[in-house]
Copies of this chain bind each other. A is one copy, B any other.
């Protein structure tokens, strides 16, 4: 069985080739060894990061910035009461916040007249922030307390709004768990990069959603979600306002999207109640992935619309959360063709995730404390 599927929102073409999964593999996919460092994200190490941009819960902020918060005399594990905090990335991908988006002045190509040069560059006026999701040294999203998970999604919202207010064109929120997924630190954290331009992948989606809205009068993602719910075969879990499913044209094996069941406002306008529900479902999905795939590396990407859209274009957009484990390797074909080979049928992945036994002992009781030990 081998077929190509096209995703209507992203335009991605994916070859679903289940036979590929049976091929021999000479290489052992042993997880990367961890060389523990003095974790800068743990409570008590606040001095190792730049000053917080935001702290949750809000009343912890004052305690956090008090001189006492940096004292070495505090007991290990004790901290100023914060559950989630946001700091500037010490190693940013973007330039200074004050820098302007401008054509590159230094000619990078001696001897070629600037107007004729094919090489265009600009400085990156933006921001790069880290959302530290817990004061405790835990790695996976499902290991956070429900409160930390909620504050994480609230922090995404608030920092996205701050990026919009600062005049940036777009802010992407993403999360890398495990070395294979691009993490360089183990402590649970997400990142926000605000950019002076809309990335190409997002521009494509905005265009596809707008065309669909003009033709059918509905939001493309909402219609996709409705069809997924009706079909049922790719559904993983649901809550009152959200559906979690393996999209029809999943580019990664066991990829899951969490999408609102009905049209909702841009992400940065979400209510705390809605984000609490989203956080709980994201914890449920990551727990299912951990159970079925035995602690895989994975990414989150929050796909929100660009900030400053024309009203008609904005009305066509709908945000979603993508969660994708990184169990298959990306090879020359994917990088060359911009097209993916997925060896696991999304219907099969969804059934496994749906039926996963995320029994009581795996689920965190609502009031449980996070432990300092790592996931198995």
Contacts and interface: CB of A to CB of B under 8 A. Distances in A.
Interface residues of A, number: 101
Contacts of A26: 34-37, 184-186
Given A5-B121, A37-B24, A231-B110, A333 B174 contact: yes
Interface stretch (A11-19, A66-74, A278-286): A11-19
A115 interface: no
A118 B185 contact: no
Given A28-B33, A35-B26, A36-B26, A338 B122 contact: no
Interface in A158-175: 172, 174-175
A2 B92 contact: yes
A191 interface: yes
A181 interface: yes
Interface in A217-244: 220, 223-224, 227-228, 230-233
A336 interface: yes
A301 interface: yes
Given A27-B35, A248-B108, A333-B172, A339 B199 contact: yes
Interface in A114-128: 117-124
Contacts of A223: 118
A104 interface: yes
A23 interface: yes
Contacts of A337: 172, 193, 195, 199-202
Interface of A: 2-6, 8, 11-13, 15, 17, 19-20, 22-30, 32-37, 40, 90-95, 104, 108-112, 117-124, 172, 174-176, 179-186, 191, 193, 195, 197, 199-202, 204, 220, 223-224, 227-228, 230-233, 248-249, 299-303, 322, 324, 329-339, 341, 347
